[in-house]
Chains A and B, each alone.
Chain A
Amino acid sequence: MKQILILLALFTTFGAVRAELLSVTLRADGLTCSMCSLSVHKALARLDFVAEVQPNIADTTFTVKFRPGQPVSLDRVAAAVRDAGFSVGQLRLTFQFDHQQVRDDLHLASGGLVLHFVSTGPRILDGPVELRLVDRGFVPDAEQKRWESAIRHACYRSGTVGECCPAGAPGQRVYHVTL
């Protein structure tokens, strides 16, 4: 009975989720050489939920694929890049969507991640679609400040589900994404 109630609660808060996380592509900033890229690669590959890292050394970008069934932490992905000595300049999540309706302020839970859509007009997403993460630590500082002034929700500053969020458990990590 309890499980049914939890399921019911999830459906009422997030709606029927039609999205699956396929991969993450991030750009590491502050480096040029292949030795530095290898440092980032090794740090990402050491994460327990990472299955594969595909580098593009020329662009200092890395596509990360995940182990099935393992919860993914984007904060740990960013921390791995920082441990290597650099920072995340851009991070894109590639989701497989199945006729998923999205709009501004929609909260969506998929693959253990709670996503909060910002600056997004009403659309229906189908097939593989890239979402760009706009939280602190995933965009350059100057861009992050622009988002901070554009997004008035307290959850953007705290990074966790707050009173401003229509869904999710208080204190739960929430990532802000846009198309």
Chain B
Amino acid sequence: MRALLAIAAVAWILAGAAAAQELYVQGEAASNGPRGVWRLRASASFAGEDAASSLKLYYSATQDWQFSFAAHADTAGDPAFRGGGFAAKYRFLSRDSHQNHFRAAVFAQADAATGDTGADDFLMGVRRGGGAGLIGTWLSGRTAVSGTAGYYRAVRRDGREGLEGNVLPFSVSVGRLLLPREYRSYDQTNLNLYFELVGVHADGSTRLDLAPALQFIVRSRSKIDLSVRAPLAGDLPGGTERWVFQVAYEYYFF
């Protein structure tokens, strides 16, 4: 099954290189939102008997600067706050042409967590420490490809399980606009398909997940994401082989 998923991912990435969308579910594109516009994203994740929720607020202060704030909670039983974070992203390169662009951005983030911060938690965004990284995103017509590489200094809480020290998170994302075939109005529902490889390298080992997703864009103002994240490889602390199912809703306050 894993081999099939990996082959599908590679095939998709190769197809994408020949072929729009960069509103990624797991990764973050180099582009920012419109200046002065807030975005709110609420997501719920399920893995076995565990359940977690996240709220993320984005604000683009300028065309180049975007800030985001995140809060995470465990929702398997009574909701329990698990942590939060702050990130800033600066788009330093933008090459636009008709229905094409290449953009690059740098980002920095700082996070706090109340409990475990293992590999599963890290990939969910529940982290303790800080880091920075680089994003490159290429849009061509109906397809967008993006890559992210970063460095994170993870700090484990005493008595808790978690990643510690030098951590290298990365992702490769490909998205394609499937519908509508032809745009006529802002009210047409868009359907995007994504394949993302998200991973983290630490202590000489690499955890790698494949995350396909379907995304519905409703009235050009909100997104509904349905995704699954399937572990392909890796044996980092706090990492399991469980599939994580996620549903998310995001609204743009134009």
**Interface members, chain B 164-222 (any A CB < 8 Å):** 177, 182-186, 188, 190, 217, 220-221
Give A113-124 as 1s and 0s: 1 = Cβ < 8 Å from B's Cβ atoms: 000000000000
Whether the Cβ atoms of B97 and A33 lie closer than 8 Å is no
Residue A30 at the chain B interface, CB threshold 8 Å: yes
Could you tell me the distance in whole angstroms from the C-beta of A91 to the nearest C-beta in chain B? 13
Q: Does A22 touch B at the CB level, under 8 Å?
A: no
**By the criterion CB–CB under 8 Å, are A82 and B217 in contact?**
no
- In the complex, residue of chain A having the shortest beta-carbon distance to the beta carbon of B141: A32
A34 partner residues in chain B, CB cutoff 8 A: 183, 185-186, 188, 190, 217, 220
Distance in Å: Cβ of B74 to nearest Cβ of chain A: 32
Q: Which residues of A contact B139 (CB under 8 A)?
A: 30-32
Query: In the bound complex, do residue B185 and residue A57 qualify as a contact, i.e. CB atoms below 8 Å apart?
Result: yes
| Interface contact B98-A60, CB-CB below 8 Å | yes
Minimal Cβ-Cβ distance residue in A for B33? A85
Task: For B99, give the chain A residue with the smallest CB separation.
Answer: A32
Write the A85-105 contact mask toward B (1 if CB under 8 angstroms, else 0). 111010000000000000000
Interface status of A38 (Cβ within 8 A of chain B): yes
B177 touches A39 (CB 8 A): no
Task: Give the interface size class of chain B.
Answer: 35 or more
| Chain B residues numbered 124-172 whose CB sits less than 8 Å from any CB in chain A | 139, 141-142
Question: Are A57 and B184 touching (Cβ within 8 A)?
Answer: yes
CB distance from A39 to the nearest CB of B (A): 4
The residues in A between 59 and 113 inclusive whose CB is less than 8 angstroms from any CB of B are: 60, 82-87, 89
Instruction: Tell me if B242 counts as interface (CB < 8 A to partner A).
Output: no
A58 near B96 with CB under 8 A, answer: no
Identify A89's interface contact among B94, B97, B190, CB under 8 A.
Answer: B97
Tell whether A27 pairs with B98 under 8 Å between CB atoms, given A37-B186, A58-B182: yes
Chain A residues in 8 Å Cβ range of B101? 29-31
The answer to whether B34 touches A42, judged by C-beta atoms less than 8 angstroms apart, is yes
Given contacts A39-B34, A57-B183, contact A30 B94 (CB under 8 A): yes
B100 touches A33 (CB 8 A): no
* Complex Cα–Cα for A27 and B99 (A): 10
| Chain A residues whose C-beta falls within 8 Å of the C-beta of B23 in the assembled complex | 33, 35
Task: Name B70-127 residues within 8 Å CB distance of A.
Answer: 94, 96-101
Alpha-carbon gap, A124 to B63, bound state (A): 42
- Say yes or no for A43: interface residue by CB 8 A criterion: yes
Q: Residue of A at shortest CB range from B20? A: A32
Please name 11 further chain A to chain B contacts, defined as beta carbons within 8 Å, in addition to the given A29-B99, A29-B101, A39-B254, sorted by A numbering.
A32-B21, A33-B20, A33-B177, A33-B217, A34-B183, A34-B190, A38-B254, A39-B33, A60-B99, A83-B35, A85-B32
Offer 26 A-B interface pairs, CB within 8 angstroms, sorted by A: A27-B98, A29-B96, A29-B99, A29-B100, A30-B96, A31-B101, A31-B139, A32-B21, A32-B141, A34-B190, A35-B220, A35-B221, A37-B183, A38-B254, A39-B33, A39-B34, A42-B254, A55-B186, A57-B186, A60-B99, A83-B63, A84-B63, A86-B96, A89-B97, A89-B98, A140-B97
Chain B residues engaging chain A, CB cutoff 8 angstroms: 20-21, 23, 31-37, 60, 63, 94, 96-101, 139, 141-142, 177, 182-186, 188, 190, 217, 220-221, 252, 254
